[in-house]
């Protein structure tokens, strides 16, 4: 189900923000200064969304890692 939904991935100088258009689902990750990786900043769920919160968070994490790799924030070996 999560694979068929259209997620939006946006970036700022240090953040990756993943949303599900048409819902209030949102998660924001920040580039970690202490370690190579992303840190969760904030998340918002929507009980009326067509996806369960845990599935949204799992897919958002995968998308955020992919975007961080594209930006050079993470090495190619970082796991999704």
Q: State the pLDDT at residue 78.
A: 56
pTM attached to this predicted model: 0.86
Are 40 and 58 in contact by the 8 Å Cβ rule? The answer is: no
pLDDT tens, position by position, for the chain (80 residues)? Answer: 556 899 999 999 899 999 999 999 999 999 987 777 899 999 999 999 999 999 999 999 999 999 999 998 887 665 55
**Angle at the Cα of 31 (from 6 to 16), degrees rounded to 5?**
20
Cα 66 from Cα 63, distance rounded (Å): 5
């Amino acid at each position: 189900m999560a694979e068929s939904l259209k997620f939006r991935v946006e970036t700022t100088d240090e953040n990756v923000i993943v949303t599900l258009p048409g819902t209030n689902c949102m998660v924001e990750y920040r580039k970690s200064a202490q370690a190579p990786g992303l840190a969760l900043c904030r998340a918002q769920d929507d009980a009326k969304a067509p996806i369960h919160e845990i599935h949204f968070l799992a897919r958002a994490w995968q998308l955020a890692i992919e975007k961080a790799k594209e930006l050079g924030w993470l090495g190619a070996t970082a796991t999704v």
